[in-house]
């Protein structure tokens, strides 16, 4: 926390804020890299940061203050240049008559004030403020320019590109800064747990955004003049034709970031102001996700495990794009991937390489679409088949017939809820008797952001919350809810990671009869509710009550769920 924590703890003991037993208790504790005993004591609540800094300030005859960037006069910010403020970790809070007062978080760093006086050629006084407030004020008043990050040393970027470039030479030494910049964009995205990187050319700027936990977050924009070089670099890395800028292109980058092997699916599209690039980050560690990590409640997990253990039939996972359907299917395959079973998948594209599974890539250019691939792989005598998506009637018919001939078939479908999967198949032209006989279940899912465990806190629902609950508030047991306050671990968003909410539609004899009669989705849904099906919103509310997510997240994800 400070440049001399041992001295500070001795003062805290002398002043009665700590006992020697407190100090001895953490002396040999296991700490994270860079963490001191004083940091541990503050985290444990044995002593507060306010007490520590207030005591130090008093010892050195300094004032202890709280810093609010919005309350600082913009006129005095220019007194200290950006580079100087960031170098010394200070923000100006007051200025008059050729003198400036700065706030710093480490009053034991004696050289800061003298160095500032020499650099600024004016008198400098100092006050003490909490480190988090000084950092927040620095970030707001002195935003780190993209070019500052751009100048970082090569050693600070841990990206090893594995992709082999075909049809062109890689960038030379003259392009080394652009290479560092491209690597830095990927590294920062991985550090921030982003799932996508968006590079979007605007009229006067180039916008960089990361999708984190399903929400896009604006990053520092690179200079517009570097736009062409950055786009060319990523096209080279992904094996695209850098001279072709008129048509969309797809590519793939294989990189190693911080010791992790990652695949990046790259897509370019021409726009008015240049080519837009989106890179989907595929982290192979996601393959180790089991069903519990997806967010199932215990009863739904038991039900789903029984379904994926069936010897035949069709199991559909439904939902819009980006709702985690493919991740769920991979988790299913990982659980049932045993030596006595042959599993074949048909995907477009193959997102993750899974050992022990035969994965077939769709290639429409040579006539290898989903239906053609599916007809071929059924002659390979598989036990389990996974189809990336049912997109047409021919693929749907083959999938249903495969299930009736003793195969277990997994696939995805784009519908808003689980019972609508039946209606969608019938609209495709699949005969009702095939759907009724082959379909075992359809599961709709959505993704909601999970509350950060490090800053999770209880709160009592407000009148607004109860109004948002609507009719559910009358019989709801949500007397206590949870939310994240925001901390460095979650980027002050209050959320970290995502979990699924689910709606499992089971097909029994009564549902089969309704399908035979070509009943609409509303009738199927009403019958499923009578059988005990939990809707997406109801499943979400149970997860709100358990402290997994927030009311706002569930309502956002289930806007169309009126039940």
Mean pLDDT of 383-387: 93
pLDDT of 469 reads 67
Calpha distance 40→2 (Å, rounded): 13
* Cβ(80)–Cβ(90) below 8 Å: yes
Identify whether 13 is preceded by a cis peptide bond (ω within 30 of 0). no
Residue 318, pLDDT > 90, answer: yes
Comparing 46-55, 197-206, 296-305, 376-385, which segment has the lowest mean pLDDT?
46-55
Q: What is the tens place of the pLDDT at every residue in 197-239?
A: 999 999 888 999 999 988 898 888 888 888 999 999 999 999 9
Least confident of 24-33, 197-206, 549-558: 24-33
Is-contact 509 487, C-beta < 8 A?
A: no
How large is the average pLDDT for residues 245-261?
87
Instruction: Tell whether the model's pLDDT for residue 67 goes beyond 50.
Output: yes
User: 0.85 cut: is pTM over it?
Assistant: no
User: Buried (b) or exposed (e) across 268-294, using 16+ Cβ within 10 A?
Assistant: beeeeebbbbbbbbbeeeebeeebeeb
N- to C-terminal Cα distance for the chain?
Answer: 51
pLDDT at 529: 93
Q: Choose the weakest-confidence range: 150-159, 245-254, 408-417, 518-527.
A: 150-159
| 322 vs 228 pLDDT, higher one | 228
| pLDDT per residue as tens digits for the range 114-129 | 888 888 889 999 998 8
Decide the pairing of beta strands 159-161 and 206-212.
unpaired
Nearest to 456 by CA among 497, 418, 428, 427: 497
Compute the average pLDDT of residues 266-280: 94
Q: Output the pLDDT for position 153.
A: 43
Rounded to the nearest integer, the mean pLDDT of the chain is 84
pLDDT in tens, 480-502: 788 898 887 887 889 998 999 99
For residues 206 and 226, what is the distance between their CA atoms, to the nearest angstrom?
Answer: 9
* Residue 109 pLDDT: 75
Sheet strands (E) in 299-407: 313-318, 343-347, 358-361, 384-387
Reading phi first (left if > 0) and then psi (alpha if -120 to 50, else beta), residue 239 is in: left
Q: How far apart are CA 539 and CA 557, in angstroms?
A: 12
Does the pLDDT at position 169 exceed 50? no
């Amino acid at each position: 926390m400070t440049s001399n924590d041992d001295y500070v703890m001795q003062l805290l003991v002398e002043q009665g804020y700590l006992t020697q037993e407190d100090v001895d208790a953490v002396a040999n504790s296991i700490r994270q890299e860079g963490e001191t005993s004083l940091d541990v004591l503050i985290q444990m609540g044995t002593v507060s940061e306010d007490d520590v800094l207030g005591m130090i300030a008093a010892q050195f005859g300094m004032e202890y203050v709280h810093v609010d960037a919005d309350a600082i006069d913009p006129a005095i910010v220019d007194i200290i240049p950006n580079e100087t403020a960031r170098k010394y970790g200070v923000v100006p809070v007051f200025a008059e008559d050729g003198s400036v007062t700065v706030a710093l978080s480490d009053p034991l760093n004696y050289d800061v004030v003298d160095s500032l006086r020499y650099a600024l050629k004016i008198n400098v006084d100092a006050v003490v403020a909490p480190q988090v407030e000084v950092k927040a004020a620095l970030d707001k008043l002195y935003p780190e320019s993209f070019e500052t990050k751009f100048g970082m040393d090569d050693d600070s970027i841990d990206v090893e590109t594995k992709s082999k470039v075909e049809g062109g030479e890689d960038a030379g030494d003259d392009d080394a800064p652009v290479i560092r910049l491209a690597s830095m964009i990927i590294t920062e995205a991985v550090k921030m747990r982003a799932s996508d990187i968006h590079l979007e050319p605007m009229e006067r700027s180039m916008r960089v955004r990361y999708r984190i936990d399903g929400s896009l977050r604006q990053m520092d924009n690179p200079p517009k003049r570097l736009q062409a070089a950055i786009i060319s670099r990523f096209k080279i890395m992904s094996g695209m034709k850098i001279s072709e800028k008129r048509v969309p292109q797809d590519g793939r980058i294989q990189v190693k970031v911080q010791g992790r092997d990652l695949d990046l699916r790259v897509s370019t599209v021409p726009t008015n102001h240049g080519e837009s690039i989106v890179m989907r980050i595929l982290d192979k560690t996601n393959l180790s996700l089991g069903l519990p990590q997806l967010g199932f409640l215990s009863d739904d997990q038991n039900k789903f495990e029984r379904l994926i253990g069936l010897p035949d039939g069709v199991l559909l996972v439904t939902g819009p794009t980006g709702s985690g359907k493919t991740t769920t299917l991979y988790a299913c395959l990982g659980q049932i991937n045993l030596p006595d079973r042959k599993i074949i998948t048909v995907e477009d594209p193959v997102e993750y390489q899974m050992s022990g599974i035969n994965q077939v890539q769709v290639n429409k250019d040579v006539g290898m679409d989903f239906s053609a691939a599916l007809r071929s792989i059924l002659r390979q005598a598989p036990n389990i088949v996974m189809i990336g998506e049912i997109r047409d009637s021919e693929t749907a018919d083959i999938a249903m017939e495969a299930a009736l001939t003793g195969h277990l078939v997994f696939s995805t479908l784009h519908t808003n809820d689980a019972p609508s999967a039946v209606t969608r198949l019938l609209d495709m032209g699949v005969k009702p008797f095939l759907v009724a006989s082959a379909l075992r279940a359809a599961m709709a899912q959505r993704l909601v952001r999970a509350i950060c465990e490090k800053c999770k806190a209880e709160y009592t629902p407000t009148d607004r919350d109860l109004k948002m609950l609507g009719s559910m508030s009358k019989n709801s047991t949500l007397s206590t809810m949870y939310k994240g306050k925001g901390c460095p671990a979650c980027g002050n968003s209050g959320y970290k990671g995502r979990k699924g909410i689910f709606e499992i539609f089971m097909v029994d004899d009564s549902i089969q009869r309704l399908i035979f009669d070509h009943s609409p989705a509303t009738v199927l849904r009403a019958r499923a509710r009578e059988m005990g099906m939990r809707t997406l919103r109801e499943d979400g509310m149970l997860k709100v009550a358990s402290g997994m997510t927030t009311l706002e997240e569930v309502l956002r994800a289930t806007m169309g769920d009126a039940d």
